[in-house]
């Protein structure tokens, strides 16, 4: 899916990305049936750059508690809302990148509608959500997000999470974007017409704000690499930092396409062969 849905709105992709923030404290006001329908229609038609199948489902935990024994919960991290979207993905190559890409599109769409979200990778009752989405044997359930209207005040837990993650802090350009090879920082001037797309990558959310993306501009191409934090997320059962790479890809592509810049995602086997345990080649944007 290109960004036709976003083009119908009065805000640019960059404005939507800048407006997005993690919301853990919500008003008790339920989202409307109209918004529910818009979200279902949107996520039913999302497409990503890879072949892995991502399956979304929207829940109202208050309604479920009356109709079944399933008890959705987030261990007190999320306050005020009973609405959640779960994202299940097939066990396949590039599945975490695909999930990150598709769910971030949905998160940005929620933002454009005035709906708050928050990526949850570990602080939710996975067994209960797995039952609610009827998780298949060939699927994983890495992420859920609450959805709802952000509260003006924050819970104590919310404030602690924000402080611990340093979510407003972002690495500077010279630590994440390079020209030709690692070690030579890329300037905005050298990035040229792609400077806005790279800036939106820099502002992207990531697990514990690790910001693992590294991008090398080489001639007309942009090569995306994952710079791993050793041991991070090892107990989760999936590669959470590859989800972050999908988020970065989403920001880059949506911003580039809004600027009418043509390109496509391609996998370069020669670059992949040079991956190490610390730096793993993911994908390239080729013009």
Both tokens of 104, joined, read: 């971030």
pLDDT band at residue 1 using 50, 70 and 90 as cut-offs: very low
For residue 215, give the CATH number of its domain. 3.40.109.30
**C-alpha angle 207/210/215, rounded to 5°?**
110
Q: How many whole angstroms separate alpha carbon 78 and alpha carbon 188?
A: 38
pLDDT value at position 2?
Answer: 45
* CA nearest to 51, candidates 4, 87, 5, 89: 89
* CA nearest to 257, candidates 198, 197, 210: 197
- 189 with 132, same domain: the answer is no
Q: How many whole angstroms separate alpha carbon 267 and alpha carbon 29?
A: 45
Q: How many whole angstroms separate alpha carbon 217 and alpha carbon 226?
A: 15
Helix axes 240-258, 95-112, angle to 10 degrees: 50
- 178 with 230, same domain: the answer is yes
Decide if 128 contacts 75 (C-beta within 8 A).
no
- 129 with 190, same domain: the answer is no
- 160 with 18, same domain: the answer is yes
Domain of 106, in residue numbers: 4-164
102-125 per-residue burial string, b: 16 or more CB within 10 A, e: under 16: bbbbbbbbbbbeebbbbbbeebbb
Decide if 61 contacts 132 (C-beta within 8 A).
no
Average pLDDT, the chain: 91
Render pLDDT for 84-128 as a digit per residue (tens, 0 to 9).
Answer: 999 999 999 999 999 999 999 999 999 999 999 999 998 899 999
pLDDT value at position 104?
Answer: 97
Residue 279 has, within 13 A of its CA and on its CB side, a CA count of 13
Tell me which of 215 and 11 has the higher pLDDT: 215
pLDDT value at position 62?
Answer: 86
For residue 100, give the CATH number of its domain. 3.40.109.10
């Amino acid at each position: 899916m290109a960004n036709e849905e976003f083009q119908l709105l009065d805000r640019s992709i960059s404005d939507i990305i800048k407006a997005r923030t993690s919301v853990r404290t919500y008003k008790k006001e339920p989202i409307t049936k109209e918004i529910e329908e818009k979200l279902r229609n949107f996520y039913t038609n999302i497409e990503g750059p890879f072949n892995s199948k991502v399956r979304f489902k929207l829940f109202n935990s208050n309604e479920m508690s009356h109709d079944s024994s399933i008890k959705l919960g987030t261990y007190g991290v999320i306050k005020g809302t009973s609405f959640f979207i779960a994202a299940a993905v097939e066990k396949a190559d590039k599945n975490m990148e695909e999930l990150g890409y598709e769910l971030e599109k949905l998160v940005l769409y929620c933002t454009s509608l005035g709906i708050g979200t928050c990526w949850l990778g570990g602080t939710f009752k996975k067994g209960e959500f797995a039952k609610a989405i009827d998780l298949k044997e060939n699927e994983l359930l890495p992420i859920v997000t609450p959805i709802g209207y952000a509260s003006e005040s924050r819970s104590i837990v919310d404030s602690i999470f924000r402080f611990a993650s340093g979510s407003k802090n972002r690495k500077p350009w010279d630590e994440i974007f390079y020209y030709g090879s690692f070690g030579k920082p890329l300037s905005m001037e050298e990035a040229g017409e792609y400077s806005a797309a790279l800036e939106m990558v820099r502002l992207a959310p990531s697990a514990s704000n690790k910001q693992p993306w590294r991008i090398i501009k080489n001639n007309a191409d942009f090569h995306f690499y994952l710079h791993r934090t050793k041991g991070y997320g090892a107990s989760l059962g999936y590669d959470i930092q590859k989800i972050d790479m999908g988020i970065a890809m989403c920001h880059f592509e949506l911003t580039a396409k809004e600027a009418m810049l043509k390109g496509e995602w391609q996998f370069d086997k020669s670059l992949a062969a040079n991956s190490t345990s610390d730096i793993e080649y993911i994908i390239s944007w080729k013009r």
